[in-house]
Chain A
Amino acid sequence: MAAVCDRERCIHCGGCVGVCPKDAITLRETRIEVDSKRCINCGLCAKFCPVGAMRIEDGV
């Protein structure tokens, strides 16, 4: 399990980066990168995302 970013919905604002307690998310110029090894599935990024692009997904 890890946070996943739906690139169709995401407008790469980087808001999720500022709320990740494990520093697992990085904002690249036009995409969000999640380090699945660091991610602890806390779901804060998914709760925060203004457009609902972040979610916790099984089997990733």
Chain B
Amino acid sequence: MEYDVVVVGAGPAGCMTAKTCAERGLSVLLLEKDAEIGAPKRCAEGISMRGFERAGLEYNRRYIAQEIDGAVLWSPSGKSVVMQSEESRGYVLERKVFEKYLARDAIMAGAKVMMKASAVGLLKRDGEVGGVVVESMGEQEEVKAKIVIGADGVESKIGRMAGIKTLNVLKDYISGFQYEMAGVSNLDMRKIHLWFGNNIAPKGYLWVFPKGDEISNVGIGIPGTENEKKRAREYLDEFISEHPEFFANASPIEVNSGGVPVSGYIKESFVSDGLMLVGDAAQMVNPIHGGGMSTNLYAAQICGRVAAEAIGEGDTSKERLMQYEREWRETDGKRMEKLLKLRYFLENLSDEDFEYFADVLSGEDINNMQKGKTKFLLKMLVKKPKLLLYAKRFLSG
């Protein structure tokens, strides 16, 4: 078998890359190692309206579970700050359906999909990556390709096979655990809810993402470095039992876990001769909230376009494919850098600091912080010398 492009992994990044390549006339094979696209999910299923629209997606009742008009941030003692603006609008998706539709879009554009198919090795051609060895249903075969695209998630093997350092370090790798629960009550179900506090979710946060009809994703993410003595799962179970006002009548209907890379993106190059990484495989995740879909889908569009242009010109060298990396670094990559710094700042906050923030910050302030506009922080923190110290380091660093 021979294709222009082989995409490994049919998650959001892989499907969008495959679709973009196919739309530009390339022959595309998309490989999925599991028996189902979209499951098991390792995700709270939220995406901002901006991210959704930027990916050229259309509203569809079959995979939009709940429309979201804002976020509620909760301090350790239960004070809340409501964020409600154009930027805080979004959707909670049903990813099992959503990803199948992304794959469908790729298929409609001309891509072929192979299920229960793992890439177990890379083929070389004139020193460049020239395809993959595919193992599917007990059989192996070689698939030649001009470009191999690794969209194989946080556990990416494609990157490692090509010698790209995709290793995650514990401090920048979130240990995530989540229940999808039915019967969650007494929370505004048009908003996502985030809790902060060093006994609730040290250096991370805990969330409720509503999916409609009293169903919600209830999860937690803490850095791997915080997970050793007490597991993400234990923190979540404790929170649920300590908050009967929300969970007294709730029970899980699904259990999820996973690793979330929050370093912003792979700092060393994530392309090489005949090979590109996209999505979680390139660690493209928002360092603040750990969400990846918006930025993954955006990167996938660039990745697919550059792959098509490179193949059109007959040049699939690293140098040519670097255009993708440069475009990413100059856009979302820059934003990720800022947000990574903000995450390190937030990780140093004590519970007392969170209470202070809940008292003095408005939803709009927090929105600005998320966009990387942080100068106003200084003004606000003058009264808190300890926080000011952090803020100075953050703003100058």
Contacts and interface: CB of A to CB of B under 8 A. Distances in A.
Pair from one complex:
yes
Interface of A: 11-21, 23, 26-27, 29, 44, 47-52
A23 B155 CA distance: 10
A21 B167 contact: yes
20 contacts: A11-B257, A13-B259, A14-B42, A14-B153, A15-B173, A15-B257, A15-B258, A18-B154, A18-B259, A19-B170, A19-B224, A23-B160, A29-B33, A48-B175, A48-B259, A49-B227, A49-B231, A50-B177, A50-B258, A51-B231
Contacts of A48: 170, 173, 175, 224, 227, 259
Contact of B40 (A13, A17, A20, A52): A13
Interface in B271-326: none
A15 B166 CA distance: 13
B227 A18 contact: no
Given A48-B170, A48-B224, A14 B231 contact: no
B256 interface: yes
Nearest to B34: A29
Given A15-B154, A18-B155, A26-B157, A50 B257 contact: yes
Contact of A19 (B35, B116, B173, B232): B173
Given A15-B175, A47-B227, 12 more contacts: A11-B257, A14-B42, A14-B154, A14-B155, A18-B155, A18-B173, A18-B261, A19-B167, A19-B168, A29-B34, A50-B233, A51-B177
B110 interface: no
Contacts of A52: 231, 233
Contacts of B259: 13-19, 48
A14 B157 CA distance: 12
B139 to A, nearest CB: 16
A47 B202 CA distance: 15
B334 to A, nearest CB: 24
A17 to B, nearest CB: 3
Contacts of B257: 11, 13, 15, 50-51
Nearest to B176: A50
B224 A47 contact: yes
Interface size class of B (residues with CB under 8 A): 20 to 34
Nearest to A21: B167
Contacts, number: 87
B255 A11 contact: yes
Contacts of A50: 175-177, 227, 231-233, 257-258
A11 to B, nearest CB: 5
Contacts of B173: 15, 18-19, 48
A52 B175 CA distance: 11
A49 B227 CA distance: 8
Given A11-B256, A11-B257, A51-B233, A29 B227 contact: no
Contacts of A23: 157, 160
Interface in B254-270: 255-259, 261
B330 interface: no
Contacts of A49: 175, 227, 231
Contacts of A29: 33-35, 116
A44 B170 CA distance: 8
B126 interface: no
B228 interface: yes
Nearest to A23: B160
Contacts of B176: 15, 50
A13 B42 contact: yes
Which of B225, B231, B255 has most A Cβ within 10 Å?
B231
Interface in B69-128: 116
B265 to A, nearest CB: 14
